Structure 1
Amino acid sequence: MDALLVFLLLLVPLLLWTSSTFVFYFKKCFYVAYMMILAAIAIPLGILKSGGRDIENMRVIRALVRHVKYFLGLRFDVSGLEHLQTEGPYVIISNHQSSLDVLGLMEVLPDRCTMVAKKELVYAGTVGIVCWLGGIVFINRKKTRDAKSVMAGAAKTMLDDQIRLWVFPEGTRNQRGDLLPFKKGAFHLAVQAQVSHRAMCAPIIPIVFSSYSNFYLRKEKQFNSGTITLKILPKIETKGMTSDNVADLSDKSYDLMRSVFLDISGSAPVTQSNGPSLHH
């Protein structure tokens, strides 16, 4: 038994030094396991702090998660933080590449801000429980009517409780070197909020993560150290808009974020099979 332990203790560093595939799986497994452990710690802390499901528990989650990047060899180069100092409720939209986005999210997450996430996440063990405690809004992506109903309720809550919501408008993870077409939910959310509360409005604040392709390639099984550029853009006003403006609002946000993504990633545009108007 002792000999086996010594062998493993020698083998693991050797593989970390010589095998990029081993490094990929080692980091992935470490990330998932460590986040589950941190979530288990956050659960009782959140209950003690807020007594149950409360957006203030996001402070606890943020404090526990922000150091994880160092173990994975990641750094964030953040600009535009001043744009998150906007008073009152707003909707944050960002591109979505992998579960590593959570680390960037926690790097800049403003107070009284939670996320919109797929319903399946609530079943992810301790992570699912802590997401529920943090007030995350869960939607069923397979049932459009249910998702719209949840988003309408979220719009009312956003204004009533003066909270901010972070949405990934691509709707799924994407590592294709470009942005996927945006779904309209985030933009309906912002418009519905100001329609239901005429005296107030919920602007949109875009946040763009640079491409992970210089350090994280899922198909090639590579996970190196790297720096992620995270750019927070000025708010896009939604005052006076109705559902008729949602498509234009979505297109404007897409074009802006795609341009910034390609710029900070040093990428050339990816040719879309359906032509340049794919996102419309």
Structure 2
Amino acid sequence: MDAMWITPLLVVPLLMWSSSTFVFYFKKCFYVAYMMCLALVAIPLCVLKSGGRDVENMRIIRGLVRHVKYFLGLRFDVSGWEHLQTEGPYVIVSNHQSSLDVLGLMEMLPDRCTMIAKKELIYAGTVGIICWLGGIVFINRKKTNDAKTVMAGAAKTMLDDQIRLWVFPEGTRNQRGDLLPFKKGAFHLAVQAQVPIIPIVFSSYSSFYLRKEKQFKSGTIGVRVLPKIETKGMTSEDVSSLLDKTFEVMLANFQEVSNISSNNIAVPQSNGPTTCH
């Protein structure tokens, strides 16, 4: 009977050593469960600090999450930190590959910055609650008109409360080894608020994380914070060209930081609904 308690202690390390599929699911389950536990810890801390929903709660969330990368065997190699020292509000845009992007976001998150995320996230248990407490702006990706209204309100909030917003302009997760065409939402937001855009590019996860192949190894993520792109004086007529310019500079840097070929890369499209993820 006593030996039965020892068996799992022996089997788990053996599977971690011999089965990449087991490692994949073990790390994924650990990541989700641990993040929910951290959110449970963060909820009362945020309520005590700010009394409720407040972008300043992102400091607490950032502090609690930053160590998670070590448990998953991940490291970040960052260049361009100085570009985040821009004064006042701005819009950060970055590529979106998986739920692991949360770790990169928390690694780079400047003060008084929150994000725009899909509305469904608010129903994700303790994680949804902490997202709401952190001032995250939720958007319904299925309703373009609602998304535009939220963006207009977000632009006003940025200026009134002097906050920064992080947006994933691809609109959904992408592990194809390129960038998906950008949605216009982040660029309308920046133009309406007349604030700069700061692009952040994370290298491809393909060297350590492959969802379809069920591989999740240790790895280093290259991160480039690019110089700000000004929007002062721009109008809604300039949104498409602003989108294209941002896409091109991010795509070039994604290829460089990921050390991949530029062959068969998707061409950006300026049209499409205003959504983000």
TM-score by length of 2: 0.96
- Partner of residue 122, structure 1: 122
- Partner of residue 197, structure 1: none
Give the SS at the match of 2:13.
helix
Distance across 1 between alignment mates of 2:56 and 2:19: 42
Give the SS at the match of 2:114.
strand
- Partner of residue 210, structure 2: 217
Shift of 1:279: 2.7
Aligned AA for 1:37? C
1:91–1:166 Cα contact (<8 Å) kept: yes
Give yes or no for the alignment of 1:267 onto 2:260.
yes
How many percent identity over aligned positions? 79
Give the SS at the match of 2:223.
strand
TM-score by length of 1: 0.95
Distance across 1 between alignment mates of 2:219 and 2:122: 30
- Partner of residue 22, structure 1: 22
- Partner of residue 139, structure 1: 139
Matching residue within 234, 252, 271 for 1:241: 234
Q: CA RMSD in A?
A: 0.9
Distance across 1 between alignment mates of 2:73 and 2:210: 15
Aligned AA for 2:151? M
2:247–2:268 Cα contact (<8 Å) kept: no
Aligned AA for 2:58? M
- Partner of residue 56, structure 2: 56
Give the SS at the match of 2:166.
strand
Give yes or no for the alignment of 1:76 onto 2:76.
yes
Give the SS at the match of 1:28.
helix
Aligned AA for 2:59? R
- Partner of residue 274, structure 2: none
Q: CA offsets, 1:155-212, max 9 Å, x none?
A: 0000000000000000000000000000000000001112xxxxxxx10000000000
Aligned AA for 1:247? S
- Partner of residue 199, structure 2: 206
Give the SS at the match of 2:88.
coil
Give the SS at the match of 1:166.
strand
Q: CA offsets, 1:219-268, max 9 Å, x none?
A: 00000000000100000000000000000000000000000000110111
1:180–1:279 Cα contact (<8 Å) kept: no
Shift of 1:278: 4.2
The runs of 5 or more residues in structure 2 that have no matched partner are 271-277
Aligned residues: 270
